[in-house]
Every structure is written in structure tokens, then in C-alpha cells.
């Protein structure tokens, strides 16, 4: 199997009538013909568009013809891209806010540790002073 072949794609009956020939940005297959735009029908890739050789066999009983050219069709879907970018921006903002909260909590914990250490030193001095007085 070559790099551009796909054995898991089912061309089905959409190979002929619903294929698009000569579209802007269409591909050429290895036979030198315009590839046809087809919709995958397999569960894994259902609904995805791909370019294929127009001479590909249509059933397992037909003689294998064509070059088995295969290439996924990538659409420039601006709306979907904008939605994804917007979602990612919101996620970044939320993560930055969470980071600030964590940094503030860390500072509070650090300050509490300093205060606790100072209190411990004071307590030790008081105890030391008490014992010193008791001994004298």
C-alpha cells in the first residue's frame, strides 16, 4: 500500500453521482486524471471528505482499475477554527486566573510559616527566660 492509499475507506455509491470534478483546488490522481471528491462512509471516518482516483473499483467483484490515489480533503472552515480559538483563549484566561490564585495562596502560606517560625522563636525565648529566672 502506498502512502496515500487507504484500505479502510468505503467509497460506496457516492463515487459517481455525488463526486465533484474540476473543483477549485482539486487534486490530480496518479493516473493523471482529476481526482473525485467523495465522502467516507466508514464508522471511523464517516462524513469526512477525501480525494480519490475516478477509476477506483466500486465493488469487490470489479477488476481493480486506477491508481488507488487517496488524500484527505482539508476544508478551511473559518467558523470552526474561530470557535476553537475562542474556546482556547477562554481556557488560557481561566488558567491564568487559577495561577494567580495559587500564587497568592502560596504567598499566604509562606507568610504564615514565617509568622509561625517567629512565634516559635518567641516562645522558646520566653521558656528559656522562665527557666533562667527559676534557676536564679
Pairing of strands 49-52, 36-39: antiparallel
8 and 68 share a domain? yes
Q: Return the pLDDT at 116.
A: 81
pTM of the model: 0.37
What DSSP element (H or E) covers 102? helix 78-135
pLDDT digits (tens, 9 = 90+) for 33-59: 888 888 999 999 888 889 998 887 666
Mark 54-87 as b/e (b = at least 16 C-beta within 10 Å): bbbeeeeeeeeeebbbbeebeeeeeeeeeeeeee
Euclidean distance between CA atoms 84 and 80, whole angstroms: 6
Q: Which of 75, 96, 122 is the last residue of a domain?
A: 75
- Give the end of a domain, one of 57, 75, 93: 75
Cell digits of residue 77:
472552515
Tell me the pLDDT tens digit for each residue of 117-133. Answer: 887 888 877 777 777 77
Q: Which of 30, 48, 75 is the last residue of a domain?
A: 75
Amino acid at each position: 500500500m502506498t502512502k496515500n492509499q487507504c484500505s479502510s475507506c468505503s467509497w460506496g455509491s457516492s463515487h459517481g453521482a455525488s463526486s465533484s470534478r474540476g473543483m477549485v483546488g482539486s487534486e490530480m490522481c496518479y493516473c493523471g486524471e482529476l481526482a473525485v471528491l467523495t465522502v467516507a462512509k466508514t464508522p471511523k471516518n464517516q462524513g469526512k471528505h477525501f480525494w480519490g482516483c475516478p477509476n477506483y473499483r466500486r465493488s469487490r467483484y470489479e477488476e481493480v482499475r486506477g491508481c488507488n490515489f487517496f488524500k484527505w480533503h482539508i476544508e478551511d472552515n473559518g467558523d470552526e477554527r474561530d470557535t476553537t480559538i475562542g474556546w482556547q483563549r477562554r481556557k488560557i484566561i481561566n488558567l491564568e486566573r487559577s495561577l494567580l490564585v495559587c500564587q497568592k495562596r502560596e504567598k499566604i502560606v509562606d507568610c504564615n510559616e514565617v509568622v509561625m517560625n517567629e512565634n516559635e522563636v518567641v516562645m522558646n525565648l520566653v521558656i528559656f527566660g522562665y527557666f533562667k529566672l527559676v534557676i536564679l
